[in-house]
């Protein structure tokens, strides 16, 4: 840096828009940054905050990625996504659902962005949207950004966070413009019942309500009874899928949606307006991954069933923390109320003193400040150590509570 370099003037910027003022982002990424700052001080930080499976991706994914890079395939592609990948997704879902799906039903976009795109295409400012809590932070962030009124229907831990007919009827009675559901739930792992989901699709059709089915964790279902709303791909239904979790490539930022062609076309126009298109090489790598997805997902499911069982057993065996065993995915949503502190206090103490990062429960909606989300990612020894730190932190807090003093 030159010694005569100037400091920039620091007048306040002009007023931000209402949407800018409503931006909250995803708290997991703030946690990641704090965790990286602590790691930079030389601490051995355990990362249980973000859902990064950290498995070895299928070799066919990496092979194709390298092949396309070797061809210097660095140009633009269609805004709706590369035709090869769209056709592969359509073929896979045609086989799964017995519907005649084509590439016109498929758009490639980052899975997280599809949430914002869906709400943007479905809702005007101040429209009402229904979530079933606890609900993924990006739903909240997207709804806040767009200025929507969120009706949060809380699911009950006593029912294993299941969606019931009663919840569906309550949601419809609120006359929302849109509903988001997330079977293979983040953070609870709940997998919803087919009859309840069919009822939801039918009632949304009847009342002209948009429905986003976030199926990011569909391939990591432990029940064997996963019901995809791709089976009910009517014009009001959008199904969101992701390659990040099943192929362990969250950094590709490649997801997809299935929708009626007229709706899919709007998403493609949204892509064209926002980011033009995605990289070709990551898209084609995912297309090659789809050739082996069933075999590979079997292994992924086995690993995460073991990993989440380890966490669940340690939590429920702690005599202090509790959780519902997940039916899918790799998250465990943990009740920490026995510690006497809220989620933020718990998380900052866990990170600062035990160098372990988890996500505060309130990121998943109001009413969850007595919870944290643990991402059971990493190998079993890593997870065991991370969980020991979580439980040690909880014990210290519980003891401090008895002594009437808590250090943050």
Kindly determine how many residues on this chain lie close enough to bind a copy of itself according to the rule CB under 8 A. 98
Other residues' Cβ atoms within 10 Å of the Cβ of residue 152: 17
Q: 163, 172, 249, 341: which one contacts a copy of itself (CB under 8 A)?
A: 249
Which of 65, 106, 110 is closest to 87 using CA atoms?
Answer: 106
Within residues 300-359, the interface with a copy of itself by CB under 8 A covers none
As a whole number of angstroms, the distance between CA 43 and CA 367 comes to: 33
Inter-residue contact 219 to 242 (CB < 8 Å) = no
Which residue, 5 or 405, has its beta carbon nearer to a copy of itself? Answer: 5
Degrees (nearest 5) of the Cα angle 231, 237, 243?
Answer: 70
Within residues 33-72, the interface with a copy of itself by CB under 8 A covers 33, 36, 50, 52, 54, 56-57, 62, 65-66, 69, 72
Q: What are phi and psi of 107, to 5 degrees?
A: -130, 135
As measured in angstroms, the least distance from the Cβ of 395 to a copy of itself is 30
As measured in angstroms, the least distance from the Cβ of 227 to a copy of itself is 16
Which residue, 111 or 314, has its beta carbon nearer to a copy of itself? Answer: 111
As a whole number of angstroms, the distance between CA 173 and CA 101 comes to: 32
Q: 31, 58, 60, 79: which one contacts a copy of itself (CB under 8 A)?
A: 79
Q: 92, 145, 167, 245: which one contacts a copy of itself (CB under 8 A)?
A: 145
Which residue, 145 or 167, has its beta carbon nearer to a copy of itself? Answer: 145
Q: 41, 42, 98, 402: which one contacts a copy of itself (CB under 8 A)?
A: 98
As a whole number of angstroms, the distance between CA 157 and CA 126 comes to: 30
Q: 274, 294, 313, 407: which one contacts a copy of itself (CB under 8 A)?
A: 274
20 is a site residue for a copy of itself (CB under 8 A): yes
Which residue, 14 or 404, has its beta carbon nearer to a copy of itself? Answer: 14
Inter-residue contact 117 to 315 (CB < 8 Å) = no
As measured in angstroms, the least distance from the Cβ of 318 to a copy of itself is 29
187 is a site residue for a copy of itself (CB under 8 A): no
As a whole number of angstroms, the distance between CA 245 and CA 52 comes to: 7
Q: 60, 88, 116, 335: which one contacts a copy of itself (CB under 8 A)?
A: 116
Other residues' Cβ atoms within 10 Å of the Cβ of residue 149: 15
Q: What are phi and psi of 173, to 5 degrees?
A: -65, -20
Distance, C-alpha 104 to centroid of its chain:
25
């Amino acid at each position: 840096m030159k010694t005569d370099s100037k400091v920039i003037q620091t007048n306040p910027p002009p007023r931000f828009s209402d949407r800018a003022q409503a931006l909250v982002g995803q708290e997991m990424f703030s946690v990641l940054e704090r965790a990286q700052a602590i790691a930079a001080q030389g601490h051995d930080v355990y990362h249980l905050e973000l859902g990064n499976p950290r498995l070895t991706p299928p070799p066919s994914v990496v092979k194709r990625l390298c092949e396309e890079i070797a061809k210097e395939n660095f140009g633009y592609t269609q805004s709706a996504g590369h035709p090869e990948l769209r056709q592969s997704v359509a073929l896979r879902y045609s086989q799964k659902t017995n519907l005649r799906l084509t590439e016109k039903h498929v758009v490639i976009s980052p899975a997280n962005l599809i949430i914002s795109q869906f709400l943007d295409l479905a809702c005007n400012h101040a429209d009402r949207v229904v979530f079933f809590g606890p609900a993924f932070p990006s739903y909240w962030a997207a709804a806040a950004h767009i200025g929507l009124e969120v009706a949060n229907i809380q699911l009950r831990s006593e029912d294993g966070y299941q969606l019931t007919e009663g919840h569906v009827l309550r949601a419809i009675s609120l006359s929302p413009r849109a509903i988001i559901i997330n079977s293979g739930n983040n953070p609870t792992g709940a997998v919803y019942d087919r009859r309840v989901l069919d009822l939801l699709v039918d009632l949304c059709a009847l009342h002209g309500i948009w429905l986003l089915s976030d199926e990011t964790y569909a391939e990591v279902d432990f029940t064997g009874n996963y019901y995809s709303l791709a089976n009910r791909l009517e014009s009001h239904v959008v199904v969101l899928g992701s390659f990040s979790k099943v192929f362990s490539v969250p950094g590709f930022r490649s997801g997809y949606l299935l929708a009626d062609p007229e709706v899919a076309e709007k998403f493609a126009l949204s892509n064209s307006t926002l980011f033009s298109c995605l990289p070709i090489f990551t898209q084609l790598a995912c297309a090659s991954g789809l050739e082996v997805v069933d075999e590979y997902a079997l292994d992924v499911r086995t690993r995460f069933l073991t990993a989440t069982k380890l966490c669940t057993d340690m939590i429920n065996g702690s005599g202090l923390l509790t959780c519902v065993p997940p039916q899918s995915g790799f998250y465990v949503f943990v009740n920490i109320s026995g510690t006497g502190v809220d989620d933020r206090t718990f998380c900052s103490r866990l990170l600062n003193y035990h160098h372990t990062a988890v996500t505060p429960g309130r990121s998943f909606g109001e009413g969850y400040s007595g919870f944290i989300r643990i991402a059971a990612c990493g190998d079993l020894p890593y997870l065991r150590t991370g969980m020991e730190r979580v439980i040690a932190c909880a014990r210290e807090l519980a003891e401090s509570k008895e002594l009437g003093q808590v250090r943050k």
